Structure formats: structure tokens, C-alpha cells
Structure 1
Amino acid sequence: MLTSRSALPGFHLALGYTLIYLSLIVLIPLAGVFFKTAELGLQNIYAILSSQRVISAMTLSFGTALIAAALNTVFGTLIAWVFVRYTFPGKRVFDAMIDLPFALPTAVAGIALTALYAGNGWVGQWLEPLGLKIAFTPAGIVFALLFIGLPFVVRTVEPVLRDLEKELEEAAASLGASRWQTIRLVLLPSLLPSMLTGFALAFARGIGEYGSVIFIAGNLPYVSEVAPLLIVIRLEEFDYSGATTVAAAMLVVAFFMLFVINGLQAWSNRHKVRHQIGSGVAK
């Protein structure tokens, strides 16, 4: 009986190390959260998750992360387009600044944003007289998540734009396509998978963001209190079961939403392949 062999040596050994490493770093800690939560029983779990404070905090966390990720997807793609397609003075400096949120401690980002948008800050002192209050409101959370999530979109879309042939845009224009038709029919099918990837990364980072948010949010229960802060509060109260219950609920909702996003990404990849095949046939 013949057995098929992998083209690469050591597949089974590498797979074993991969599964062990993932289990130790990811699966076992997450399983511990769910086991600790299960000790409460369904009635107590429901009582914790149905409380208005928990619902308000989770709605705020997921809502602001969703808004910030959507905005970053649009403007991050535009920024990546400018960096790839154009040359201008100071380009290298601005390109390096995109990665600053990766390097800065999140607390530093939160303090800087609060100092900027507070009522007596450089920007806030001009906005608040107009009725636009950012610091210590949910809007401040969105601004913090915009700051920390932008690099995920830019750095995900940028390599795809570099590989995208500029001649395709010129050919579409020479054939009479408008700018919107070129974007919709030529660029978007190729960019959509990377845009969805950047959106998923920014969204996932925003859900669990803590350091940059607590300084600018104001942390008012039912108003600007995010779920990660609520978990920390429960831990400080030695309510470990309550903390793990909120954490487990966040994990389930986040996994479901990321699963849907990954499904959309797979669909867009298939659509991209069909688009490329159709373009090849047309040629």
C-alpha cells in the first residue's frame, strides 16, 4: 500500500509543534475562561450578562470598534493609495508616522488624545463652544480607536496596491471608463480582500483596546464605560467569575463577527478570481 509523502520534510513534526504551541498560548487560556465561567451555572451567567451595565458596556465596545474600523478602512485605503501612487515632499516621514501607534504605549496615545481634545486642549477648546464635545464621550473612544487601528488597514492594503498594475487603470480610462467605473470595476475587486482583512484586524484590536481608551472615555457607567474596563473593575473587586463571564461573552461575540468577516473575505477572494479569469478571457 502506497502512502503519499509531503513535498516538504518534517511536516508531521512541524504540525505537532504548531498544535502544541497554539494550545499552550491560545486554546488552553481561552478554555480556562470558559471553564471558570461555567462554574456559575446558566442562571447566574444570564443574570450577569443581562444586567444593563454589562449590556451598555459591550454595546459601546463593539459599536465604537465597528465605527472606527469602518472609517479606517475607507481613509486607510485612501492613505495607502496616496503613498503608493504619488511622490511628494516628506513622504518618507509621513509613511513612518503611520507605524507610530504600533510603537507607542497605548497609555501614551490616550494621554495625548485627551490633552488634545479635552475642553482646555488645543483642539477641544475650539470644538466645545460649537457643541462638539469629544473627550469623555463615546466620540472620544472612536477617535482613540481610529488612532490605534489605522496602521492595520494601511499596511494591509499597501502591498496589494503596489502589486496592482497601473496599466489596468490607464487601459480602463482609454476605453472610456469613468473614474468611478474604474474604481468599482477594476480596483475594488482586487482591493476588497485586503480591505476586509484590514477591517477585521482594526476591529479586533478595537474591541479589546484598554490603555488608550480609559483616558479619553471618561469611564462613566452606562455612558462611556467600555467592556474591557468593566472586566478590570470586576477583577479589582475580586469578582473573578463575573470578570470571566463578561470576557467569555466578548470572546463569543467577537469570534462570531470575525467569522462572518472572514467568510466575506473568502467570498471576495473567489469573486476576485472570477474577475481575473473573466478579464483574461476578454483579452
Structure 2
Amino acid sequence: MNVTTKAAARTVSRRRLLPGFGITMGFSVLYLSLVVLLPLSALLFNSTGLSWAKFWDVATDARVLASYRVSLSTAGAAALINVVLGLLLAWVLVRYEFPGKRIFDALIDLPFALPTAVAGVSLTALYSQNGWIGSLLTPLGFKVAFTPLGITLALMFIGIPFVVRTVQPVLEDLDRDMEEAAATLGAGRGRTFLRIVLPELLPPLLTGFALAFARGIGEYGSVVFISGNMPMRTEIAPLLIMSKLEQFDYAGATAVALILLLLSFLMLLVINSLQHWARRSSR
């Protein structure tokens, strides 16, 4: 028996030492089919009742295009800002000790537990013209509530935990010997961060951006109150879908949802490709 045959035999025996692959794989496929594939298949099936001309009319409607622009632009802006703020928060939580650190750490997860409608009402009360913060900004010419800026703030609130919780474990496991070696060789803090730390954090930062962006595109509860829901200005795509459903325009709502799904999938595909490239570059 040659070396290759022995290696193959060891691989087969090693696989047999881990029983239950068939059951766990079958359960995973079933779960994925019921939770993900079946709803998406139903969405595609419902859209088949539309002719291509009707589907194109819905897809190119000015109100629909404006809702996509608002949803994608605000979700992208909020995710980009959260990447910077999330990195700063994760850095403070990992690298420094201070009183109340555990409470501060627990507050990061508050958007996960807080109902999104409560967050939307709270932000609207704060940033409206009569709110605590809005009343101070209005005389200066800044209007937050019922504008895309207000939508961005709401999406920042619900998306910040995704970035922090993605970057924080990587920072905790990061070997500081390289940073100390760079400092010994005369590198400044900025150069050490850019050349040593940032390449290691780039993959989790892209992951956090993708998660926050995906959550922001489909967010409804926290945005519907602060956006004002003005067509062509602050109306988001999920709200437009709900409006079509309330008008019993199921085919139109399905078409809008399908286009939003395709746009989200393409954006996530690009982000995942960048994440894969970042991992290979860091290695």
C-alpha cells in the first residue's frame, strides 16, 4: 500500500469517527429550504403572474425608483458611518479599562433587544422640531426628522451592534507582538495601525458593513416614524411594499420586493467578494 492509499484510508477513517453527518446535513438542508429557499421561491412564483411589460412598468416607476434610491443610499451611508464608529467602540472596549465598562458593553446590544418601533418613536421625539435635540438644530437650519438624514440616524442606531460585535473578537485575539515590534523599529502609532492592525481588521469590518447594510435595506419599524413617508423624498422601499399590499396590489408589491431582493443580493455579492479578497491579502 503506497503513501497516497494510506493517506486516503486515514482520511476515510477520520470521517467515520465523526458520525451523524447525514442527519445533520439533512436537517441543515431542510432548515435552509423552509426558512430561506421556500419563501424566496414563493416570491418568484407570485411574480410570474405579471407580464414582462407590467413588471417593467412597476420596476421603472418614478416612485419605485425613488424609494430604492432612499433605501440604498441611507442604508449605505449608515453602514459606512457605523464602520468607523463601530471600530472606535470596539477599540475602546478591548484596549482600555474604565469604570462602567461592562455597562457600556451591554448597551451596545440594546438595539438588538429594543423593539424597532420604540426606537423610531424615541428618535422622532428627539429630533423633531419640538424635540430636545431638534429644537436646538432647527434655529441653525438643520432639519433631521422627516428627512433622509433622520432615516440614516435610525439605521445607524439599529446597525451599530453588527459592526462592534464583528470587530471586537478579532481585536481581542489580535497578537500585540507585531505592534510592539513595529514601535521598537520606530514606527509611529498611525503607521502601525495602518500597516499592522488595519489589514487584520479589514475582513471583519467588511462583514460588519455587509450585515449593517443588509439590515438597513429591509428595516421598517424604526424608519417609518422618523422618515415622514413622503413619496419621492423620504419613502423607503419596504414602506412602498406595505402600501401596495394595503391596496391589494399583490403583484406590484411582489415585483417591488423581487427587485429589492435582486439589488440586495448583488450588493452583498460584491461585498462578500471584497471580503474574500481582503482575507487573501491579509494572509
Do both proteins adopt the same fold according to a TM-score greater than 0.5, normalized to the shorter chain?
yes
Q: Which residue of 1 aligns with 2:243?
A: 233
Q: Report how far residue 13 of structure 1 moved.
A: 2.1
Q: Which residue of 2 aligns with 1:61?
A: 71
Q: Distance in 2 between matches of 1:189 and 1:92?
A: 28
Q: Which residue of 2 aligns with 1:159?
A: 169
Q: Which residue of 2 aligns with 1:262?
A: 272
The structure 1 residue matched to 2:210, chosen from 195, 200, 213, is 200
Q: Which residue of 1 aligns with 2:57?
A: 47
Partner secondary structure for residue 205 of structure 1: helix
Q: 2:32 aligned with 1:27, yes or no?
A: no
The structure 2 residue matched to 1:15, chosen from 11, 25, 29, is 25
Q: Report how far residue 171 of structure 1 moved.
A: 1.6
Q: Distance in 2 between matches of 1:223 and 1:102?
A: 28
Q: Distance in 2 between matches of 1:131 and 1:89?
A: 38
Q: Which residue of 2 aligns with 1:169?
A: 179
Deviations 1:67-123 (A, max 9, x none): 000100111011100110001122111111111000000000000000100001010
Q: Distance in 1 between matches of 2:278 and 2:271?
A: 10
Partner secondary structure for residue 127 of structure 1: helix
Unaligned runs of 5+ residues in structure 1 are 274-283
Q: Which residue of 1 aligns with 2:262?
A: 252
Unaligned runs of 5+ residues in structure 2 are 1-7
Q: Which residue of 1 aligns with 2:5?
A: none
Partner secondary structure for residue 121 of structure 1: coil
Q: Distance in 2 between matches of 1:107 and 1:264?
A: 33
The structure 1 residue matched to 2:191, chosen from 173, 177, 181, is 181
The structure 1 residue matched to 2:130, chosen from 110, 117, 120, is 120
Deviations 1:213-258 (A, max 9, x none): 0000000000000000000000000101111110000110100110
Q: Distance in 1 between matches of 2:176 and 2:123?
A: 38
> Percent identity between the aligned chains?
57
The structure 1 residue matched to 2:89, chosen from 66, 79, 100, is 79
Q: Distance in 1 between matches of 2:48 and 2:144?
A: 39
Matching residue's letter, 1:16: G
Q: How many residues align?
A: 273
Q: Distance in 1 between matches of 2:53 and 2:25?
A: 40
Matching residue's letter, 1:242: G
Matching residue's letter, 2:269: F
Partner secondary structure for residue 218 of structure 1: coil
Deviations 1:124-161 (A, max 9, x none): 00001111100010100000000000000001100000
Q: Distance in 2 between matches of 1:230 and 1:272?
A: 42
Matching residue's letter, 1:260: V
Q: Distance in 2 between matches of 1:41 and 1:173?
A: 65
Q: Distance in 1 between matches of 2:126 and 2:150?
A: 11
The worse-fitting range, judged by mean Cα deviation, of 168-177 and 56-65 is 168-177
Q: Report how far residue 167 of structure 1 moved.
A: 2.6
Q: Which residue of 2 aligns with 1:243?
A: 253
Q: Which residue of 1 aligns with 2:221?
A: 211
Deviations 1:21-59 (A, max 9, x none): 111111011111111112102111000010000000011
Task: Normalising by structure 1, report the TM-score.
Answer: 0.94
Correspondence 1:98-137 to 2 at 5 A:
98-137=108-147
